Amino acid sequence: MDRYEADPEELDEIIVPDDDESSEAELFEHHRIVADKGQGLIRMDKFLMLRIENASRNKIQQAAKAGNILVNGKTEKQNYRVKPGDVISVVVAHPPRVNEILPEEIPLSIVYEDESLVVVNKPAGMVVHPGHGNWDGTLVNALLWHFQHTPGCPPATSPLLVHRIDKDTSGILLVAKTEEAQTLLARNFFDHTIERSYQAIVWGTPREDEGTITGHVGRNLSNRLVMTVFPDGEHGRHAVTHYKVLKSYSYISLVECRLETGRTHQIRAHMKYLGHPLFSDERYGGSQILKGTTSGTYRKFVENCFELLPRQALHAKSLGFIHPVSGKKMFFDSELPADMQQLLARWERFVENRV
């Protein structure tokens, strides 16, 4: 028998629920398999199909073509013959099924599109993929309609997720249109060559204008809907967020966050750990007044701000990656959505009037 195990430390942009009700769907699976000493010679594709559930020959071929199969640290193809003691590391696509999802005519903000991929500026409030309690109105429903009504787009084209952002987070999202593109884009994430920049509005102002938050992020041991930072690494997965204060409004600040890893709710959990939860983030304590007085006109002002932006103040602002076919460096940027801009304008006027 072979010794088989998934290597959690190699997982990155993998388990990211869209919202409270969504299931945890793995977009990619990273497997680490050590061939037993009694293993006979066998082709890699057959070996992996026997060891990995639902791993078709096509998925294995795509993984090999993308360079996502390593044997003893060296890239190998699907015709490599596995030998006793080989340490095999492989990343295969495991996208959510779309065959029972109905296309819906929903307006989309398409930033870029070609035969391999599409870049979308997702609005806040839109779930990325159908799941429990959210079977329609999602980005995938909208993309299915878009593909079916785009001239020259193959009729069987389906949106293949590469990563996700939360339902109430707005911003840039990358979606593949072919399995080959999806598998190659996965390499960007696992090699950490993806450039991701977010902008968040947080309570207060961090003591340092810029810095790095390092701490394992994992599910809260008493509430699985909340992610917690485990600084000693006793639970969760390694997570790194680089932040920079772009502007301070005394009571709140606009902060840029760049992700080195892509854990569930990483920015939300890390900023709370730093002592500066995202503004209006109910799940992580940001929907309470955390800076300033809790009575009088100030309280009314903050409550009006919560009404203006009844979600976590987080926007996926930019995304850079290597194109899976052309090999060219691609970069896409977006403006802060109107609700976040309006919130900042209100705070700026409020601070100016108090000076």
Tell me the C-alpha distance between 13 and 264, whole Å.
8
Per-residue pLDDT band for 64 (boundaries 50, 70, 90) equals: confident
**Segments in the chain forming alpha helices (H):** 44-51, 57-65, 139-148, 179-190, 266-274, 296-308, 338-354
pLDDT(328) > 90: yes
Q: What's residue 25's pLDDT?
A: 32
Segment 316-339 mean pLDDT: 96
User: Which tens digits make up the pLDDT trace of 142-199?
Assistant: 999 999 999 989 988 989 888 889 999 999 999 999 988 988 888 777 777 889 999 9
Three-state SS for 305? Answer: helix
pLDDT(22) > 50: no
Cα 243 → chain centroid:
17
Cα 335 → chain centroid:
19
Burial of 244 (0-12, 13-18, 19+ CB in 10 A): middle
Q: What's residue 67's pLDDT?
A: 79
Residue 7 among the catalytic residues: no
Q: Is the pTM of this model over 0.85?
A: no
Tell me the C-alpha distance between 283 and 264, whole Å.
13
Length of the chain: 355
pLDDT(342) > 80: yes
Q: What's residue 18's pLDDT?
A: 36
The residue with greater pLDDT, 23 or 112, is 112
Catalytic hit among 12, 166, 168, 281 = 166
Q: What's residue 212's pLDDT?
A: 98
Q: What is the CA radius of gyration of the chain?
A: 22
Segment 219-239 mean pLDDT: 91
Q: What's residue 20's pLDDT?
A: 33
Per-residue pLDDT band for 3 (boundaries 50, 70, 90) equals: very low
Sorted by where each starts, the structural domains of the chain and their CATH numbers stand as 28-93 (3.10.290.10), 196-316+338-354 (3.30.2350.10)
The residue with greater pLDDT, 130 or 204, is 204
Per-residue pLDDT band for 99 (boundaries 50, 70, 90) equals: low
% pLDDT > 70, the chain:
88
Segment 326-346 mean pLDDT: 97
Q: What's residue 8's pLDDT?
A: 30
